[in-house]
Structure formats: C-alpha cells, structure tokens
Amino acid sequence: MPKMTFVDTDGTPREVDAPVGLSVLEIAHRNNIDLEGACEGSLACSTCHVVVDQEWFELLQEPTEDEEDMLDLAFGLTHTSRLGCQIIMRDELDGLKVKLPSATRNMMVDKR
C-alpha cells in the first residue's frame, strides 16, 4: 500500500498508509491528523490547505480554477499549496509529503 507523510506544524513527520483513490483530506481524517476540511471536501473552503513538498508538487494534477479560487483564501499560501480534498492518492504518489500550515482560515464559520 502506498504511504504518505504529514509534517505537523511543529515539524514532526508522521507516515501513514495512503490508500489509492482516497484524498489527502480523507487519509488525514482516517489517521487523526489535524486537517480540518470544514466543507467536507466539497471545494467550498480552504481549511484542508496543505503545502506539498517541492519534490512531489510537479507530480500532482493541475489545480482546477475552483481550487485556485479557494486557495486564494488560504492562510500562509505558498507556490506549492494545494487543497487536501483535491489531491487524490495514486500509486505514483507513494511517498507523498505534505506539511500542515501553521493556521487555517475558516470562512464557513458564522461570526455573529
């Protein structure tokens, strides 16, 4: 089974099983990784923002315009930022490494 590594905000790496066909967000939730995903993967927020290791970034599918629009709302955006709900695991991504950002911006929360 493919593996992937999540690097926590304090720099601690955690390698987990990464079943083909699941999104990085789903893999995070299965492994109790603190990746929010407020919209549950419906591409309506940026809370599953991850920073993809440069070595892996070029292997990902191009982001859609909708993903790019949501990334514009992400905290700590970098040139290798992606939404975890949009990265679907496949065999070629065995070893994928992503870093969790230091904070997220949840625009879906009702702020009364």
pLDDT mean by block of 10 residues, the chain; 112 residues: 96 97 98 94 94 96 96 92 98 98 59 34
The confidence score (pLDDT) of residue 75 equals 86
CB-based contact 112:56 (threshold 8 Å): no
Domain ranges in the chain? 3-99
| φ/ψ of residue 25, rounded to 5 | -60, -45
Phi-psi region of 32 (alpha: psi -120 to 50; beta: other; left: phi over 0): left
CATH architecture of 3-99: Roll (3.10)
